[in-house]
């Protein structure tokens, strides 16, 4: 199964949105269990946010499937960013 991380950022209306560009998605090893995938996603999140680029990502989602059709298996947001999920399982800012 294909597994990837979709990094999240804050949009122009203060909503949580998918990060764009080549850094917005990170392919994970689908042979690993979810715990290992979370660790790998967190390492990449920290690399991108603590680099010279400081991309300002606020969280990530681990997705299973391909880039056109997938479902979320794990979500994480930084502690200092408040967000809620609506009835359609979409991120909304508080």
Write the pLDDT tens digit of every residue in 34-64.
Answer: 999 999 999 999 999 887 777 889 999 999 9
Q: Which residue has the higher pLDDT, 56 or 33?
A: 33
CB burial string 80-91: b at 16+ within 10 A, e below:
eeebeeeeeeeb
What's the token pair of residue 60? Answer: 């990530």
What does the pLDDT read at residue 78? 86
Strands (E), 1-94: 3-10, 16-18, 25-28, 59-65, 70-77, 83-85, 91-93
Q: How much is the pTM? A: 0.81
């Amino acid at each position: 199964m294909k597994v990837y991380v979709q990094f999240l950022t804050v949009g122009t209306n203060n909503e949580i949105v998918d990060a764009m560009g080549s850094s917005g998605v990170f392919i994970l090893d689908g042979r690993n269990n979810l715990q290992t995938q979370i660790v790998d996603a967190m390492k990449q999140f920290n690399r991108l946010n603590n680099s010279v680029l400081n991309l300002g990502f606020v969280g990530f989602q681990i997705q299973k499937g391909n880039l056109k059709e997938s479902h979320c298996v794990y979500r994480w947001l930084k502690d200092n960013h408040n967000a809620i999920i609506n009835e359609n399982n979409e991120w909304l800012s508080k």
